[in-house]
A = this chain, B = another copy of it.
Amino acid sequence: MVRTIDWVDGAVEIIDQTELPARTVTRRLSTVDELVAAIRALAVRGAPALGVAGALGVALAARQYRDAALAGAVHRLETARPTAVNLARGVRRAAARLADGPDAVLAEALAVRDEEIASSAAMAARGADLVTELCGPAPRLLTHCNTGGLATVVGGTALGVIAELHRRGALGGVVASETRPLLQGARLTAWELGQLGVAYQVAVDGAGPFLMARGMVDAVIVGADRICANGDVVNKVGTYAHALGAQRAGIPFLVVAPESTVDASTPTGGDVEIEDRPADEVFAFGGRRVVPDGAAAINPAFDITPHDLVTAIVTDRRTLRPPY
């Protein structure tokens, strides 16, 4: 499997996600500023992958700069994007080794990468075991948004479980919901499933609950942006509607996310500020604006799935079931 991000011969190499699925372009980033630009452009995205990008960026910086220039480069990396805590965390972890020289920094960055890979593998194995336990030998799974190797380094969270089931010959089918407005499902999840050789069908987001009611889906499996202390799950908008559909259909609704996503300091989903994003994301289709002039939009980027709709939460270390 191709790694989304890696260290190759003294530089960072990424799969440019802005080019997918039309073209698979590997970009070689030899300087800190090239990497920062790639992060800003979402050429590399996904919280775990950003953590690795930040750590590898410090390894570049340690070879490229000294003294004040080095500190400035580390700061540019740390602040390349504001939201994902993983980016700053990866930067700081590698930067803590700067006093020991470039090789020590690189070793730490590679450790961050390897831990992400190991975490994905652990979630995949644990999640696949759980799906088989709950759904039998050939479940048809529905997943939302993109939670595969593109968001981590290789493997993924929910999509990593799907890939593992495929490797075990224990997967009956996949529905990838397209994930409006930015189509992470139709663009990225579809591309990853194609790379893995997994047969899939894309569905519009509104169809998911009906496909469950029709008996065409055996379980829903998604990632998470944050898991609250009471088990409420913050994830890409559209997740909650799928959870309601799963509950009504009487099928499992499973969440797969690393331990770093579990946030014991946030009591409930109601305590999370949900980002409202620009209307233009909703209105632009392939560069064409489909709505009338003067239209407004309401565009929450995430939603909250209450814990009573969540059958189980799988992390790299635990499988949590109610009561959370």
Listed in ascending order, the chain A residues whose CB lies under 8 Å from chain B are 21, 175, 177-181, 183, 186-187, 190-191, 194, 199-211, 213-214, 216, 237-241, 244-245, 248, 279, 282-288, 290-292, 294-300, 303-304
Contacts and interface: CB of A to CB of B under 8 A. Distances in A.
B303 A207 contact: yes
Nearest to A204: B180
22 contacts: A21-B291, A177-B206, A178-B180, A181-B204, A186-B291, A190-B291, A202-B279, A202-B283, A202-B296, A202-B298, A203-B297, A206-B239, A209-B240, A209-B241, A209-B244, A210-B237, A213-B303, A216-B298, A241-B241, A241-B245, A285-B288, A286-B288
Q: Is the interface of A mostly helix, strand, loop or mixed?
A: mixed
A303 B241 contact: no
Contacts of A288: 285-287
A220 to B, nearest CB: 13
User: This chain: how many copies in the complex?
Assistant: 2
A178 to B, nearest CB: 7
Q: Which of A186, A200, A238, A241 has the most CB of B within 10 A?
A: A241
B206 A238 contact: yes
A210 B303 contact: yes
Nearest to A211: B298
B206 A21 contact: no
A319 to B, nearest CB: 26
Contacts of A304: 210, 213
A286 B287 contact: yes
Contacts of A213: 240, 303-304
